[in-house]
Amino acid sequence: MLALTLRESYQLQMEVARLRCAAGDVVAGYKVGCIGPAVKEQFGMSGPIHARLFRSELRSSGDRLRHSAYANLAIEGEMALRIGSDGGIAAAFPVIELHHFVFRGQRKTLVELVANNGINAGAVLPQNDAMMTLARWTNAERLSVAINGAVVDAGALWAMPGGPVEALDWLRSDLARFGAALTPGDLILAGTSLGLFPVRPGDHVVVSVDDQPYVDCHIV
């Protein structure tokens, strides 16, 4: 069996992205992953890693998602960023990250995670009024995920000790290793302190900050 290095797995990720874009899709931004304590324990490995987000896989709050369109659909509650015209953080907001929760190796590895684009399957974005300046979230304390009305996980808004600035600085540096860079308008998933949860048809997922719901989706 051919074993990839971590660098080769990133090169594979980039090549798949190139092919997708050649077929008409667009890279809408990036995610930082495998950094929160819950995910590191769940996966048995530690990042951070980066992966690409595609415009065709972005959904809006309230959307109905077909379970059959995904490979073992799973979700995370997470904070996201929007890059402004000056390259800084123009907005921050909670999202539902979607995943194809499949690992094919005998054990989970960062190489497989990166090669499979961080198992990302898109994200559900909130309405525009939830996309506020970073300062508006300064006093927020608790990000939570509820499935069918029951809170399944809750924790800090940001996974990295240095918060969104540390996540963004790391991402810029890591992208530069491969000749890539952030651009204005990019969507950035900044990592989560919460766990990953498989969902099934009939589930209703809600992500809240300090018990205020901001984004939801229905699985059908």
pLDDT value at 181 more than 70 = yes
The model's pLDDT over 88-122, given as tens digits with 9 standing for 90+, comes to: 999 999 999 999 999 988 888 899 999 999 999 99
The model's pLDDT over 124-149, given as tens digits with 9 standing for 90+, comes to: 999 999 999 999 999 999 999 999 99
For 38, 103, 111, the CA distances from 106, given in Å and listed in that order, are: 21, 8, 13
State the burial class of residue 72 (Cβ atoms within 10 Å of its Cβ: 0-12, 13-18, 19+): middle
Tokens found for residue 146: 């509820």
End-to-end CA distance of the chain: 38
The pLDDT of residue 15 is 97
Q: How confident is the model at residue 2 (pLDDT cuts 50, 70, 90)?
A: low
pLDDT value at 19 more than 50 = yes
For 25, other C-beta atoms within 10 Å of its C-beta total: 15
For 15, 76, 79, 102, 217, the CA distances from 192, given in Å and listed in that order, are: 27, 8, 7, 19, 18
Contacts of 3 (CB under 8 A, 6+ apart): 111
Under 8 Å between Cβ of 33 and 60:
no
- Comparing 39 with 176, the larger pLDDT belongs to 176
Mean pLDDT of the chain: 94
Question: Is there a cis peptide before residue 48, judged by omega within 30 degrees of 0?
Answer: yes
- Comparing 217 with 2, the larger pLDDT belongs to 217
Gap between the Cα atoms of 10 and 163, Å rounded: 24
> Out of 9-13, 33-37, 146-150, 175-179, which region has the weakest mean confidence (pLDDT)?
33-37
pLDDT value at 156 more than 90 = yes
Give the predicted TM-score (pTM) of the model.
0.95
Q: What is the amino acid identity at position 210?
A: D
Q: How confident is the model at residue 1 (pLDDT cuts 50, 70, 90)?
A: very low
The pLDDT of residue 37 is 78
pLDDT above 70 as % of the chain: 99
The pLDDT of residue 108 is 86
The model's pLDDT over 33-68, given as tens digits with 9 standing for 90+, comes to: 988 777 777 777 777 999 999 999 999 999 999 999
pLDDT above 90 as % of the chain: 89
Nearest to 74 by CA among 214, 213, 200: 200
Q: What value does the mean pLDDT take over residues 155-177? A: 96
